[in-house]
Every structure is written in structure tokens, then in C-alpha cells.
Amino acid sequence: MSEEKPYYKTRLRGRGQITLPPEIRERLQINEGDDVLFFVNENGQIVLEQAQVVDPEQSWFWTQKWQQAERESRADYEKGEYFEFDTAAEAIRFLDQLDEEEAKRHAEDQV
């Protein structure tokens, strides 16, 4: 028994414009002004997806440098190479101690 699939018809207008049926817009969770992506999948089918737009205030997270640091952090975590603290004050003391040790090594290297 074949599965019955809903089909939606639209018409190509001037300058290549189409109107997406409301059921498709709802399924994609898109609204007027949203970006959509088209691509051809491995089966030769044309696929339409909602474009994931990055908020400009969060674009730093997607930079190559930050993503590399994320991968390194994940690898350290998976190897168990991390520290845990019960309070923020403990973490700050630990970081201050690292800074002091680094400054001491730097001063010794200058001699």
C-alpha cells in the first residue's frame, strides 16, 4: 500500500517568483523576509530549507578561530583534561595563580 502524500501547487511568476503555500511556510517555520535555501540532494531532488541566520551579536561564535578553540576544548574535555570548581571564586583564584606562575616564568626568562 503506497503512502498518500499531500501535494501543493503554485505558479511561477515574473522574475522567477513563486508563492509558497501556507502549509509549507508553516512546516519550514518561515515568515515574510526570512531567507530560504535551495539545493540538489544526492538523489537529484531539489530541496528547500529554512536558512539558519546568525544573529550579528553572536557572529563571533562562528569565527574560524572560535570554532577551533571549541574543538580543542571538546577534545580536552573528552580526554578528562579539565578542572572543576565549586565556586566562581575558586576558579578565579586558580586563574590568578596561573597568571602569577606565568609572570614568574617570564621574569626568569628575562634574566
Residue span of the structural domain in which 66 resides: 56-110
**Over the Cα atoms of the chain, what is R_g?**
26
Same domain, 63 and 49: no
Question: Which CATH number goes with the domain that contains 38?
Answer: 2.10.260.10
pLDDT 10s digits, 61-108? 889 999 999 999 999 999 999 999 999 999 999 999 999 999 999 888
Q: 31-61 as b/e, with b when 16 or more CB fall inside 10 Å?
A: eeeeeeeeeeeeeeeeeeeeeeeeeeeeeee
Which among 33, 53, 73 is the end of a domain?
Answer: 53
Which among 29, 53, 77 is the end of a domain?
Answer: 53
Provide the residue type at 42 as one letter: E
Q: Distance between CA atoms of 18 and 95, rounded to whole angstroms?
A: 57
pLDDT 10s digits, 8-48? 899 999 999 999 999 999 999 998 988 899 999 999 999 99
How many domains in the chain? 2
